[in-house]
Every structure is written in C-alpha cells, then in structure tokens.
Amino acid sequence: MSDLTQLTISQARAKLRGKEITATEITEAYLGAIERANPALNAYVAVTGDKARDMAKASDARLVKGEGGALEGIPLGIKDLFGTEGVHTQACSHVLDGFKPRYESTVTSNLWADGAVMLGKLNMDEFAMGSSNETSYYGPVINPWRRSRLDTAVMPTTHQGDGGFVSAGGTRTVRSLDNAQLVP
C-alpha cells in the first residue's frame, strides 16, 4: 500500500510488527498529510513533528527488539483537552493561551506507555463545552466530508483498477474525495 495513512490501526499494527513498515515511515506519512490538509481543515492547533519523530524512532527501536505496547508506533492526534508535558495544551481557549503543562495527563501517559506516537494537538470546542466545534479559540474545524455550504456531500472513494472508483452515494450529489482534493 503506497499511502500509509489509509491503513487501519489493525493493519498498521500488523505491518509494524511484521517489519513491513516502520513507525518513522508511517509517522512521516501522517505529518505530510497534516501539512497538506490542515491549512484547509484547521484540525490541528499544534503539530509536534519533532516529538513525533523522536517517539517514532523510539518505537522503531522497541519493535526491532520484538518489544512494544499495544499501540507501538501508531501515530495519533491528541485533543487539546489532555495535558501533555511541555506541549501546547490550552483546551482551545484564550484563557490558557501559551500554557505548556509540566505534567502528563493519565490519558496520554497510558497512550505513551503503550507506544503511541503523538502527531500534535487537535482542535475542539473551548474547554470541550460543545459538540459542533464552533467555539474554539482557533476557529472551527472544517469537516472534510462536507467542506462547503453547498448541498454536496463529499464521500470517500476507493481507487479500483484502471482509474475507476467505488464510492458510497445516495440521492444527493456525490463528489469524490482524493487526498489531493482535501485542500482547496
């Protein structure tokens, strides 16, 4: 598979443990995807590329030895709600602007103990008080499946054969979503 970001967690785990891919490779694939898509989607409020690369390198070392946790080498985005030591953690609020905790939350401590790799902090409603992601200090996240106010649903597609596509669709207009089409 050429696009490592299309692997499920189960597939990625199997390929990592089978030494078909490295944590560094999958992490770089996700960092590249974030760099391309985030300007349009506003999903990440902080990208921790250096930290992700360091964590991936450590995961690769454990995997080579046949060690590692349940999430070893799996890249994840962490909601800006959870304290991450030394990393931007503001609960998407201006009240906490510039805050970098000197502690690790229980949630992230458990993820790191299982070998997960942090890509960055994810946007959300301020202090997690909402469900539509409209109250973030950083602005709303743009839903990649419905980026415009048009009555057009953007559906994921699967490439099949010689340029053909398989897509889900209903009575509405369906537009294909290719990785390059995430960014306007």
pTM given for the model: 0.79
Tell me, what's the pLDDT at 165? 33
What are the tens digits of pLDDT across the range 131-180? 888 899 999 998 877 766 554 444 444 333 333 333 333 333 333 333 33
Domain interval for residue 166:
152-181
How far apart CA 177 and CA 116 sit, in angstroms, is 28
Neighbour count for residue 94 (Cβ, 10 Å): 10
HSE toward the beta carbon, residue 95, CA cutoff 13 A = 5
Say whether both 161 and 90 belong to one domain: no
Question: Residue 26 has which token pair?
Answer: 């999958």
**Structural domain includes residue 76:** yes
The number of folded domains in the chain is: 2
